Amino acid sequence: MRKISGTAIALLLGATAFVAPASAATMVTTTGTPLNETIKTSSGVDGNLVTFFSDPSHYAIDYSSTSTLHPSSTGGFAFVEGVGSNGFADLTLTPQTITFSALKFNMQLPASTGPSIPNGYKTDFTFDTTVFFSGGGSENFDTDVGAGNGQNRYLITAGLNQAIDKVVFSDLVGVSTKKNDPTLTNSFNFDSLRQVSFDAISAVPEPSTWALFILGFGGIGLMLRSGRGRSAIAVRNRA
């Protein structure tokens, strides 16, 4: 029997690692220290697109919105908010050259300017977080933050064989209730996104890399067929 070389085995294992089923991402409340890369600086210009940069690796992360964004900083972190007290209706985080394996953030809400809530009502806030993955697919988290006061800190972690290439925050809704009074449902803007940190990983293989994997599979197949052929010849010669 012909043996498969170590190089061929490595190619086979490397290729199968990328086709293994992916597990689900998670989003949980969190506290504690930041992840490895922290958002420290920004391009410093208001607009619908603001680029932020991490420390220590200076990775570029695009923050985009249908609202006008204003970059600022405090306590060693750069953060984004709306212009004035208007906040922002939605926010998309897109890393330029890397992907995320994990993302930690502090979402402040709601913006100061927004629907007024009558006295005596209690408001429960929810918002949507949609996580998109390299190679396709996404997961949506409907996040209930209660009254929304204080630190709303969350950690998103990619599942096995997942790489996060975009995160979208949207649809901040407040449901206000008061005993014996009508329930009020309103849309609000987010106030700011602060204390963002992340763990970076490489993106999924480019098309050229997939081509190498395919060539590797083909080479392994040829080696196996060649080995079987030679074994058959040896048997006939011995006969």
Give pLDDT tens digits for 29-86: 999 899 999 999 999 999 999 999 999 999 999 999 999 999 999 989 999 999 999 9
Within this chain, do residues 86 and 200 fall inside the same structural domain, yes or no? yes
pTM over 0.85: no
In a domain, residue 2? The reply is yes
In whole angstroms, what is the distance from residue 179 CA to residue 37 CA? 46
Residue with tokens 């619908």: 48
Domain count, the chain: 2
CATH code at 110?
Answer: 2.60.120
Within this chain, do residues 51 and 9 fall inside the same structural domain, yes or no? no
> Quick check: 139 pLDDT over 80?
yes
In a domain, residue 180? The reply is no
Give pLDDT tens digits for 7-31: 544 444 444 444 556 689 999 999 9
Range list of β-strands (E), the chain: 26-29, 37-42, 47-55, 60-74, 77-82, 91-95, 99-108, 122-133, 138-146, 153-157, 164-177, 184-187, 192-201
The phi, psi pair for 231, rounded to 5°, reads: -65, -40
Which range marks the domain in which residue 232 is found? 1-22+205-239
Closest CA to 154 of 200, 190, 194, 106: 106
Within this chain, do residues 73 and 60 fall inside the same structural domain, yes or no? yes
Within this chain, do residues 60 and 165 fall inside the same structural domain, yes or no? yes
Within this chain, do residues 102 and 219 fall inside the same structural domain, yes or no? no
Mean pLDDT of 100-115: 96
Within this chain, do residues 216 and 159 fall inside the same structural domain, yes or no? no
Within this chain, do residues 10 and 56 fall inside the same structural domain, yes or no? no
In a domain, residue 183? The reply is no
Confidence of residue 97 (pLDDT cuts 50, 70, 90): very high
C-alpha torsion angle, residues 190, 73, 39, 113 (rounded to 10): 0
In a domain, residue 15? The reply is yes
Q: What is residue 4's predicted lDDT score, i.e. its pLDDT?
A: 47
In a domain, residue 50? The reply is yes
Confidence of residue 235 (pLDDT cuts 50, 70, 90): very low
> Quick check: 210 pLDDT over 50?
no
Within this chain, do residues 15 and 51 fall inside the same structural domain, yes or no? no
In a domain, residue 150? The reply is yes
Closest CA to 188 of 96, 84, 94, 115: 115
Confidence of residue 227 (pLDDT cuts 50, 70, 90): low
